[in-house]
Amino acid sequence: MTVLSVLAIGFLLGLRHALDADHVAAVAALATQARSIRETVKTGIAWGIGHTVTLFAVCAIIIVSGVAFPERLAGTLEFLVGLMLVGLGIDVILRIVRERIHVHAHAHLDQGSHIHFHSHEDETDHNASAHDHDHRSTLPKRALAIGLMHGLAGSAALLLLAVSQQISTAEALIYVLIFGVGSVAGMAILSAAIAWPIMASARRGTNLFKRFNLAIGTGTALIGAFVMVHAFPSVTALITSL
């Protein structure tokens, strides 16, 4: 197999890696706070950049130093990712249950129309609410931080290192980078796909939007719990070895 073939496979595997259940759950939970498809795609890109940064850093250290990546450490980091997903899911559920979420079409003079949803908690007059606000033009920091955490954990590092044994150090580092670029592209595409049903439910009314968000929150929390249970043996093994 040529080097170019290996690198191409790396990009395709990066695209596929973005579709892992825990990644989809994280971005779906984050997307519940996005106001448009464009904003949701930014969330996915931010996650992908964070994921690529830490994944590249970890793999680069291991490839260059030749130090093995302890599976129990990877499992412990995976456990923390599961815990984070549970927190994200619960946050979505609490936000829907506690706050008086209201959904409607909304427009700015210079930005056109979009779906607008916000809380009217503790308000008695909806008209008193301020609807004139700025929209984020930068990448969401929360999504970036969650991507950084995801890049530290999971099987991706082990997969990348297995491939790196077949090529030179420089080529292996390029492979990891291209894998990361693939994951960013994959998550951007996935985010657009996730945004469509969220925005569609918002257009159909507040009640459907709330039910859809509750389903996302519940699903995210359940996936997080599954990840925690699966990774728990690694946590106990790491604690025992200390």
Q: Tens digits of per-residue pLDDT, 166-199?
A: 677 888 888 888 988 999 999 999 999 988 887 7
Question: How much is the pLDDT for 137?
Answer: 52
Q: What is the pLDDT of residue 128?
A: 47
> What mean pLDDT do residues 6-16 have?
83
pTM confidence score:
0.81
Residue 135 has pLDDT above 60, yes or no: no
Between 234 and 161, the more confident residue is 234
Please give the pLDDT value at position 64.
81
Residue 45 has pLDDT above 50, yes or no: yes
pLDDT higher for 6 or 234? 234
Burial pattern 204-238, b for ≥16 Cβ within 10 A else e, equals eeeeebbebbbebbebbbebbebbbeebeebbeeb
pLDDT in tens, 62-118: 778 877 667 788 888 899 999 999 999 999 998 888 765 555 555 555 554 455 555
Q: Is the pLDDT of residue 55 over 50?
A: yes
- Most confident range (mean pLDDT) of 26-40, 97-111, 160-174, 210-224 is 210-224
Model confidence at 152, pLDDT cuts 50, 70, 90, reads confident
Say whether pLDDT at 216 is over 90. yes
Range with the lowest mean pLDDT among 45-49, 86-90, 124-128?
Answer: 124-128
